[in-house]
Structures are given as structure tokens and as C-alpha cells.
Structure 1
Amino acid sequence: MSCLETIHDYALRSVGIGERLLPKGEMTLCEHFTLIGSGLIWNIYYGALALLIGFFLANALAVAKASANPWARKPAEWFIFIFRGSPLFIQFFLAYEAFVLIPRMGWDIPLGFTTITVETSWLSKAWLGALIVLCLNTAAYSGEIFYGALRSIPRGDIEAADAYGMTGWSRFRRVMWPTMMRLAWPAYTNEAIFLFHATTLVYFSGFPAFQQKGDALYYATYFAAMTFNPFVAYPVIAVYFILLTLTIITLAGLVNRRLNRHLPKERRAKIRLRPQIIR
């Protein structure tokens, strides 16, 4: 089988398009790159959606934590503390066990004249259950980043907004939020990079890959087990994630340039990769 035929058969296998059977016998380098790249679609799916949903949740958490109202502040503080204080790997396992237990217990909605039982077994699938955990985890870390930036807004900016008569939502949207984003963006970019790397933990989390449609690590592990040689498959997945990291840094750099367009060049914060060895 030529490399073009391999790409045609396996490029979209992870989403159910193409050849269903995994290759056997002699594993070529093209098969490694094609199948692991196919699995990377799921890693991008987890990372992109978790980043998008977690971004809005993180903003809400930051505002709630900075609130003077204890009914808003305390839940945000405990949410951030619990998800930052516990390992992501443990969160995956606890969520999976909880999502498996919910369908057994049933989720009945009484309507008075009848009762509807909601189907919840889809929560235990990787495409949704693992995504929920990643959303909550990155929201906690990003919320703390945004909270620190919110507390670091220069007092003069807020006083200037007050002088113009801005209050409440108008002041937050036009003055505080843009400044918060500008201050938090370099650290938030590093959190985004770590989030995409953390998507590889879904393979070990207990959430099943439906019909062998797994992520990049699923295929890398398959190749390593079939060839008894981990020094081909795992470097391939590392190359893919390095390219993904460079893409994130490039896109984040464009956003950062937009956020700091009004500042002199020497005062503009630059995006730098700072890997988190331990989390």
C-alpha cells in the first residue's frame, strides 16, 4: 500500500471515515504519521472546545471571586481551590465513576401527570465526559489568572472611567475587561498550551474510545505495542504536539499584538513558552 493510499484510508479513521481495521504486519512510517495525525483530531476537539467554554466560565469565576458579595465570592473561591488543588488525573477518574453511576440511579423529572426518565449514559463517553472535566479544570486555572489580572488593573484606569461617568457593566466592558485580558494573556497562553498537552490524559482516564476511534496517544500506544518499538510512535506524537504548540503560540501572539496595539513596542508583553513541569 502506497503512502497516498494509506492517507486516503486512515486520515479520518478517528472520526469513523475510511478503513475500519487497523493496519497489521509491518508498520510503515507513513502509517504512523497518518493514524496518529488522525487521532490528533480528537485532541484538538477536546482542547479547542474546553478552551472556548472554559474562557467564558473563567471570566465569570474571576469576576465572582473579586466580588464583595460572599454568595458569589465563596463558591468561586472553592471551585478554583478544588480544581487547582487536585490532580487532573484524579478528576478524570472521579468524574467517570460519577457519570457511570448517574445512569444506574436514573434521572427522573416529575411533571405531575407523568415522569420522564432522562437518558444520561452519554455522559460516560469520552467525547462529552472528558470534555466536561477539561472545561472545569481549565476554567479554574484560567479563572485564577484572570482574577490576578483583574486585581492588577491600575487604579488610575478605574478612576478615569469613573471620571467619564462609566459605572457597572459599561466600565467593566470598556475599561476593566480589555486591561484584564492584556495583563493576563501571556499567562493564559501558557495555560492553553498545557490544556492541549493535558488532552493526552483522556486515553488513561477510563472514558472509553468508541469503536477504536481514539485520540493520538491511542494510536501511538497501538503502534508501540505492535512493533515493540516505542521510539518511533511516541516521537511522532511529540512532533505533532510541538507543531500544535507553535500554532497556539503564533495565534496567541497575534491576539496579544492586537490587545497591546496602543502601547509602545518596548512596553508590549511578549508571548513566551513556559512549560509547567509539575501541576
Structure 2
Amino acid sequence: MPCAEDIGNYALRSVGIGERLLPRSDFTLCNQVTLIGSGMIWNLYFAAMALFFGFFLANALAVAKASRNPWARKPAEGFVFLFRGSPLFIQFFLAYQALVMLPRAGIEVMGFTVATSWLTKAWAGALLVLILNTSAYSAQIFHGALMSVPKGDLEAADAYGLTGWAKFRRVTWPTMMRLAWPSYTNEAIFLFQATALVFFSGFPAFQQRGDALYYASYFADKTFNPFVAYPIAAGYFILATLVLIGLFGVANRRLNRHLPGATRGLKYRPQLLR
């Protein structure tokens, strides 16, 4: 079966498994669906890694923003303002230009040479930008939730003798997560959609192993018909977004399992303006 052969040849091409050369002619719908789906592996990689590392950095920034110590608060406020106040595409561009200026031979650190060339690749440099960007937006969400933790909850924790880290871990942080989770879900969805910008950034794909937009653009250029490849890419993004909403809905029910009506799903409220 030709389609089964295409799937075998191209399903994992974006990670270096299968045919090395892209099809040059006789483009079929199966070609396009398979290769664009292969590229989605990178979009999922960018989203998953950025959400994972960004989550922890955002929590640290939110706590620092709420600190009374100006040495912790001011840098956190500056970081959040910088990355929320500038367009993501410009952040990609400036980061690439800065990383390209690093010495090709690496940087000497305590007698050891630390390689830097890998930072100019999309899988590392673009990921770093996405982590910093989503950390800034998520930190603002978490900070707002942290400031909204009911005073009664904190007083109850004090009455139980909880202080310091124990109070934060068992009362403050779980309440902050419950309050922030719906908005954080929207940020996660936005971040996933923003992975499409990696194709338009200066970070190159390694050995023609690009993301979904890389293959969609390739087919649109070769067939002179953007109304097949790009809708296929959009369909993949929509399906992945539905999965993401489902996963975050499960987490939301887990966070609110002690509340009445917690079994109801999380509603998707898209952030149309940003």
C-alpha cells in the first residue's frame, strides 16, 4: 500500500528515522499528512519542555515578586516586564543574534572548554526563548494567585502551627495553584501555538528535520497550493490542543477534588488578545 509505505518512510523523519530525502514530485495527501505529523514531534517537544522548565522558573519568579526583599523582587519584576513587554518573535531574533556571536570554539571556564555552537540550533536556542517567555507570563499569573490566597487560609495555617516552608508547601502553594490553574491552562495553550513561530525564527532546523510548519511550508511551495498543507498543520494543532485541554482538566479536577462540583471539566476560554 503506497500510504503505508509513506508512513513507514516518513512518520519519524523529523527525528532522523526513515528516509533522508524529502519527496520531490507526485505529492500525495498521505505524504503531506505523514510528514507534517512527523514535524509535530518537534512542536510537542518544544511545548512539553518549555512548560516543564517554565513552570518551576515561574513559581520562583512569582515568589520573588511577592518578596519584601527588593534584591529578590526588583530583578523578578524586571524579568517579567521585559519578556511580557516585548514580542516573542523579536525575542527569538535577538536571542539568535546574541548566541551566534559566541565563540565557535566554545568558552573557557576554569580550564575546561564549554561548547556553545549547540545553542544556535532550534532544539536548544529556540527552546530557551520559549522557556523564558512562558516563565514571565506564568509568573504573573502565579503572582496574582499568590496575592489572592484567602487570608483565612493563612490564619488557619498559623493556628495549626505551620510556618515557613511547611506553610507554603501545604497551604499557600496548593491554594495558589488552584486559583491560577484556569489562567495557566490558557497560557499553556498559547505557548503550544507559539511553537509554530520557531519555523519563522532564525534558529535553523538540524539536517532538514523541522517542525510541522517546516514541512507545511515545503509542500505549499512545491505544490503552489497552501490550502492543503496548512489546514493539515492546523488540524494537528487543534487535535493536540484538545489533548492539552483534557490533561490540564484532569489536573484541575485533582487540584479541586475537595470542592463541590470538582468533577466538572475545565472550560476552555481562549486568550484572544495578548
- The TM-score range, normalised by the shorter chain, is over 0.9
Q: Deviations over 1:170-207 (max 9, x none)?
A: 00000000000000000000100110100010001100
Partner of 1:65 in structure 2?
A: 65
> In structure 2, what is the equivalent of residue 87 of structure 1?
87
C-alpha deviation, 1:271, in angstroms: 2.4
Q: Report how far residue 270 of structure 1 moved.
A: 5.3
The one-letter code of the counterpart of 1:85 is G
Give the superposition deviation at 1:106.
Answer: 5.0
- The one-letter code sitting in structure 2 at the alignment partner of 1:175 is V
Aligned residues: 274
**Matching residue of 1:276:** 271
**RMSD in angstroms over aligned alpha carbons?**
1.5
Change (3 A) 1:157 1:252: same
Q: What is the 5 A alignment of 1:48-197?
A: 48-103=48-103, 106-109=106-109, 111=110, 115-197=111-193
Per-residue displacement from partner, 1:208-267 (whole Å, max 9, x unpaired)? 0011000000000000000000000000000000000100110111110111111111x7
Instruction: Specify the code of the residue in structure 1 equivalent to 2:35.
Output: L
Deviation of 1:142 after TM superposition, in Å, equals 0.3
- CA deviation after TM superposition for structure 1 residue 25, in Å: 1.4
Q: Which residue type is aligned with residue 73 of structure 1?
A: R
Asked if the contact 1:153–1:180 (Cα under 8 Å) also holds between the matched residues in 2, the reply is yes
**Corresponding residue of 1:259:** 255
Aligned-partner Cα distance in 1 for 2:86–2:134 = 13
Cα pair 1:189 1:271 within 8 Å, conserved: no
Following superposition, the deviation at residue 118 of structure 1 comes to 2.1
Moved over 4 A (4+): 267-270
The one-letter amino acid of 1:213's match is R
Deviation at 1:47, TM superposition (A): 0.4
Question: Which one is further off, 115-124 or 91-100?
Answer: 115-124
Structure 1: any 5+ residue segments left out of the alignment?
none
Whether the 8 Å contact between 1:186 and 1:269 is mirrored in structure 2 is no
Following superposition, the deviation at residue 129 of structure 1 comes to 0.4
Equivalent residues in 2 for 1:23-42 (5 A)? Answer: 23-42=23-42
- Structure 2 letter corresponding to 1:274: R
